[in-house]
Each structure stands twice: as structure tokens, then as C-alpha cells.
Amino acid sequence: MYIFRLLQNNLISGQTGFSREGLLNVVAFTVALLSALILHEIAHGLVALWNGDRTAKMYGRLSLNPVRHFDWIGLIMMILVGFGWAKPVPINPNNFKHRKLGCITVSVAGVVTNLLLAFLFAMGVVLFGNLLLTLQTATSMYYFVYFLFALCVLAMQLNVNFALFNILPLYPLDGYRLLSCFVDERNKFMTFLRKYSFYILLGFIVLDYIPIVSNYSPLNLYIGWLGNKIDIGFQLFWGLIFRG
């Protein structure tokens, strides 16, 4: 379980075992999760509003209240495996000033927001990581900076994972919505996706828990490998900026 692993990891030293750092990891994960989910959904609603559709605003989906955005199955997935989804924002494309442009921009709004957040949190990873190396362990200042570091690490990872997961062309994720902007939703392929996306996703998740196979599962190769490369790239960028 993802939360259990967080409880046992020290993100700065790599040591394992239950500790204060592990407890701080869980608190930081909760904050990071809330921010990633809420801002992702608000981005959809705001871009829809800018395109002329007030549906999300009418349903209260521009709120910072997390209860308005949570899909409980998606939330459980976040806790178990570190990625998931929120309740889709209600959108009425008929209200868009320019329908196709509105559909495209609303579809990518959440993913772009998550990647931008990950990029910004990567700056905190570099700054607070360097600061931690200068502090004496087991002091109040150390734990405070460690929390900020853990928050930035987990927020960076969650936002990247969330972006990569949501851009998958599976119903009702953003990738499906984006794909539907360019093809007829009534064709056989799109009908297949609407009908079987949940089972496809479930199969991916099951593969992720089978020993040996899990190292080569589609989700691990896609989100794990590619997400890690994006995380490293963001950190390298900020490392070069602050080194200069």
C-alpha cells in the first residue's frame, strides 16, 4: 500500500522504518493530494467558464472544498497505489463560444495545471533538499524543513503521475475527452472505450501487483518510468538555475 510505504521511508536519507519523518510524509501526502485533485478540477471549470460555459460554476465545482471534487473510488486508488482520479467536472460544450477549441482547452486544462504545479514544486525539492543537508537532525527546524521537502517531493510526484494518468485515452479521463474532440464518439472504438475502460484500467492495476510481472506492467513502465524521468528533468532544471 502506498501510504504504508510512505510511513516507512525517510525521503532524504533513504532509511526505512517507522519514524517521525514517516508521519510527516503522510501529512504531506494528504496536503499534496488535496492540492493536486482540487486544482486539477478547478482548472477544468475555469477554462470552461472562460469558453462561455457556466455549468461547473453553477454546480459549485470552482470551490476549494475537496468534498465537491472527490470520487471515492479514485481517492481509494490514490491511497493504495499513488494515482487516481476525481469526479469529472460537468461541462456543456453547447455553451462554448467556439465548440472545438473549448473542448480541447478544457480537456487539457487539468493535465497542464498538474504539470505546471509539478514544475513549481520541483523548485522546492531542490531548495529544501539542499537546506536539509545543512541542518542538524532531530531538531524542530529539521522536522519543519523536512515537512516542506516531503510536501514538495510528493506534490511533484503526484502531480506528474496525475497528469500522465489522466491523459490516458480511457473513459472518463481527460485523454478520452481530448480524443473525442477529433473523432466521432459514436464510432466502434470510442464505444468500446466507454464500455470497457474501467476493466482495462483494473487489469493494468492487477498486473501492477503480480510479482516479477509488476516490474514490466504497462502502468509501471508508463507512469513509473516516464514520471520519474519528468521529475528528474524538472529538478535538473532548478538545480542548474540555483547553481548558476
Asked about 41 being catalytic, the answer comes back as yes
- Exposed e or buried b per residue across 6-39, where buried means at least 16 C-beta atoms within 10 angstroms of its C-beta: bbebbbbeeeeeeeebbebbeebbeebbebbbbb
Q: How far apart are CA 156 and CA 230, in angstroms?
A: 10
Tell me, what DSSP letter sits at residue 154? H
Q: Measure the CA–CA gap between 2 and 173, rounded to whole angstroms.
A: 22
Instruction: Give the angle subtended at the CA of 39 by the CAs of 33 and 42, to the nearest 5°.
Output: 140
CA–CA distance, 210 with 203 (Å, rounded to integer): 11
Choose among 222, 214, 206: nearest CA to 77: 206
**Which residues have a Cβ under 8 Å from the Cβ of 222 and sit 6 or more positions away?**
164
Catalytic residue among 21, 41, 53, 174: 41
Contact 121, 162 (CB under 8 A): no
DSSP states along 181-210: TTS-TTSHHHHHHHHHHHHHHHHHHHHTTS
Q: 46 Cβ partners below 8 Å, 6+ apart? A: 56, 62, 109
- As annotated, the active-site residues are 41
